Chain A
Amino acid sequence: MTEPLLDIRNLCKNFGALKATDNVSLDLRPGEIHALIGPNGAGKTTLIHQIAGTLQPSSGTIRFLGRDIGGMSMPGRTRLGLGRTFQISSLTLEFSALRNVMLALQARQGSSFRFFRPVMRDRSLTDPAYETLERVGLHERAMVAAGELSHGERRQLEIAIALALGSKAFLLDEPMAGMDSEGSQALTRFLDGLRREAPILLVEHDMDAVFALADRISVLVYGRVIATGTVEEIRRDPEVRHAYLGEDD
């Protein structure tokens, strides 16, 4: 079996007496989309935060590309190749869509301490940024300030930023949230192709998208993984049906 890129073992996170993450183990293998589903408050975003480095786990290990990244800062993890999108869009709102992507590109080039050359005349930033926006279908809105983009467009921009980082694995936290059905179908097709570039750990509530995309699904309930398996296995699993999908699915 292929070596997992991202390997999470026995991860726990306690907030006082609350076990937000309860002995979670899961992995992400090359070329796959691994969906993480669960009811509201199951601890999906808390888990993403720990993987991305915004929250420190109470115990357990997170390995990425064979390295223990548990003690690494969020910027460090990004530089290593872990690209994440936020559940609530997190963009530099005064900058245009293009400049948001350019910021990711300059970070990837490791060159934020250049003081003289104007970025807008730097084709090693503007050209690839525009191409990345083209990939997610946002190029016509390249010069619009991120703060003036619609909700769905901001989600697309989040993806474009993650792409521009050249990530080796993606953590996507509800990328479809708030999109209309046309938008989420387009994004589903896009993510379907994206897995060949880098595997995706996908947190998503849109079950049509999850069932269409996921190679494997893990179900999180009250901070615990109650099942991991293929779409069919998860659909049939009685505990999952009881806890989450509803008896008369």
Chain B
Amino acid sequence: MRQHLRRETLVNAGLAVLLLAAPAIAAMAGEPFYVTLATRMAILALAAVGLNFVLGLGGLVSFGHAAFFGIGGYAAGILATHAFNQEPFPFGLSGTNQMLVIWLAALIASGIVALLIGLVSLRTSGVYFIMITLAFAQMIYYFAISWPAYGGEDGLSIYVRNAFPGVNTLDPLSFFLICYVLLMIVLAFFATLRNSRFGAALQAARQNPVRLASVGVEPFRIRLVAFVISGMITGLAGALFADLNRFVSPSMLSWHMSGELIVLIILGGTGRLFGPVAGAILYILFEYFLGGITERWQLFLGLILLAVVLFARGGLIGLLAGKVRHD
């Protein structure tokens, strides 16, 4: 048991170092493109860590996490647009180009939406849960498309990347480091929560909800809190993604995005601490290398995914570090 734990720790440390070293070397070599690629990895990993709370620990297959990713993105885009055009919000609020404020707004907005979606969707389970989360996300997607005030179908540009105190966010490596540090903080939070009482209850709700209820804990309440935390983290990732691209489009809200996050987790290892990180690295590498060979790269991604599901259920982390062990 201890050996397995150590091996997974080593694999995780290796991935963390890899994700940090690659863009640092690329930046020194004057290749900002690869820094951007690594930044995408870190942001997608962060979004998937959010999903991993409910999917990995809670066993809830949310097919609507694009909603939170997009809401985080629009929070960043809308606040930045108001700040740029110096148009005040209602209630005397104003826009801002400060990332810290934007992150807070993204966390709050996606948390509120997650609470509302969770209150309805968590009353169902299995396929119904998948379909209801999908339906909510698609509703928000079509709303964004048909809402002309913030770009509608064309999306919303952020003309200057938002600011962070003491950091030049326009420097690719500096922006990468912001994303990387946030990812590491959220991973530490994931690891802590997984071992806590709440984590125990959440994992029990996946393994056997009847048992959890029969010791006197309502699985619904545990799942709802997890769903809100999960949505908030994916929303935070959305705000970073908007800043990376300096552009927010409704495609951040589409079901493709929800599916991509699920694929990331399956590739990396469901419920594993670094599963989303491994998944995001693999996914972006596939996209880059296979996408360079053929436009139909997703066909090959499909085959790889099929192989993972059939032969390597634990994803990359499972292959490298063995099965999940609880103490």
Residues of A within 8 A of B (CB): 52, 54, 73-76, 78-79, 84, 86, 90-96, 99, 102-104, 106-108, 111-120, 122, 125, 143, 145, 161, 165
Counting CB contacts under 8 A, is B150 at the interface?
no
Residue among A117, A118, A161 with the most chain B CB within 10 A? A118
Flag if A116 contacts B192 (CB, 8 Å): yes
> Does the CB pair A108–B216 fall under 8 Å?
yes
Contact of A90 among B192, B195, B210, B324 (CB under 8 A): B210
Determine whether the beta carbon of A115 is less than 8 Å from that of B193.
yes
Residues of chain B touching chain A, judged by Cβ–Cβ distance below 8 Å, are: 192-193, 195-201, 203-204, 207-208, 210-218, 222, 225, 324, 326-327
A176–B216 alpha-carbon span in the complex (Å) = 24
Given the known A-B contacts A78-B215, A103-B204, A107-B216, are A95 and B196 also in contact in the complex, defined by CB atoms under 8 Å?
A: no
Taking a contact as CB atoms closer than 8 A, the residue among B203, B204, B218, B324 that contacts A73 in the complex is B218
Cα A118 to Cα B193 with chains together (Å): 8
- Residue on B with the closest CB to A143? B327
A106 to B217, CA, bound (A): 9
Instruction: Please tell me if the beta carbons of A103 and B218 are within 8 angstroms of each other in the complex.
Output: no
For the complex of A and B, list the 7 residue pairs with the smallest distance between their C-beta atoms, beginning with the closest: A78-B216, A118-B195, A107-B215, A112-B201, A92-B207, A79-B216, A114-B197
The answer to whether B204 touches A92 (Cβ under 8 A) is yes
Of A73, A75, A115, A143, the residue contacting B198 (CB under 8 A) is: A115
B314 to chain A, nearest CB (A): 13
Is the CB–CB distance between A113 and B198 below 8 Å? yes
Least CB distance from A69 to B in Å reads: 13
User: Interface residues of B: mostly helix, strand, loop or mixed?
Assistant: helix
When distances are taken between beta carbons in the complex, the residues of chain B under 8 Å from A114 are 196-198
- Whole-angstrom distance between the alpha carbons of A15 and B208 in the complex? 26
| B214 touches which of A78, A115, A118, A120 (Cβ 8 Å) | A78
Alpha-carbon distance A76/B216, docked complex (angstroms): 6
Judge whether A165 and B195 touch: CB under 8 Å.
Answer: no
In the complex, the answer to whether B326 meets A91 with C-beta atoms within 8 Å is no
Instruction: Report chain B residues within 8 Å CB of A145.
Output: 326
Cα separation A212 to B189 with both chains bound (whole Å): 53
Interfacial chain B residues near A165, Cβ < 8 Å = 215-216
Contact B197 A93 (CB under 8 A): no
A-B contacts, 17 of them at CB < 8 A, read A75-B215, A76-B216, A78-B215, A79-B216, A90-B208, A90-B214, A96-B326, A103-B201, A103-B204, A103-B211, A103-B212, A106-B201, A107-B212, A108-B215, A114-B198, A119-B197, A145-B326
Q: How far, in Å, is B55 (CB) from chain A's closest CB?
A: 16
Contacts of B213 in A (CB 8 A): 73-75, 78
Q: Of residues B207, B216, B225, B326, which shows the largest number of chain A Cβ atoms within 10 Å of its Cβ?
A: B216
Whether B195 contacts A119 by the Cβ 8 Å rule is yes
Task: Say yes or no: B216 contacts A95, CB within 8 Å.
Answer: no
Out of B192, B207, B214, which one reaches A52, CB within 8 Å?
B214
Residues from chain A with a CB closer than 8 A to the CB of B208 are 90-93
Residues of B within 8 A of A91 (CB): 208, 211
| CB <8 Å contact, B200 and A106 | yes
CB distance from B192 to the nearest CB of A (A): 6
B2 CB, min distance to chain A CBs, angstroms: 11
Knowing A91-B208, A113-B225, the reply to whether A103 touches B215 (Cβ < 8 A) is yes
- Chain A residues near B211: list those with CB within 8 A: 90-92, 103
